[in-house]
A = this chain, B = another copy of it.
């Protein structure tokens, strides 16, 4: 009953007659652990955790983000967000301005202080990518981008694309 419709990794796609890809599973685990470890060490000196990092990162990347949009990106609950957001607001890494069109909304912006920390963290993590890519052929960067994108749930890929490569900033409210 075989057809030609299957992809080239057919055997691997049919879970139980293929060896699991232990190598990829383990390498992704170790790579991600080291990747977040870089940021963890810097965050510690601010007494921030990973949750603060994620909020600050996306607010810095998308100035004017609302609470609801942030919740959608992070896929966490309001309560989990508000704990860390409150600290970022109190300590002046992020500021919130009421929406103009809809005054219920709070648009979030990184302050100068917040932008600096967000950039420091991004540079740290970029250094790891740069070191890795330096040891690989020139096309490795594009290959890595395509691989990581393909690993994301297909139903989310379009959304991630527009988040990662935004098409024109939104006007300030």
Interface residues of A in 122-173 (CB under 8 A from B): 122-136, 138, 140-141, 143-154, 156, 160, 163-165
Q: Which of B12, B30, B131 contacts A13 (CB 8 A)?
A: B131
Residues of B within 8 A of A35 (CB): 28, 151
Chain A interface residue bracket vs B: 35 or more
A47: interface (CB < 8 Å) = no
Classify the interface of chain A: helix, strand, loop or mixed. helix
Contact B135 A150 (CB under 8 A): yes
Given A34-B151, A135-B150, A136-B146: A127 in contact with B15 (beta carbons within 8 A): yes
Given contacts A22-B61, A23-B165, A34-B153, 14 further A-B contacts (CB under 8 A): A8-B138, A12-B126, A12-B133, A15-B123, A18-B126, A20-B119, A27-B152, A28-B35, A30-B160, A31-B149, A32-B32, A140-B147, A143-B144, A143-B147
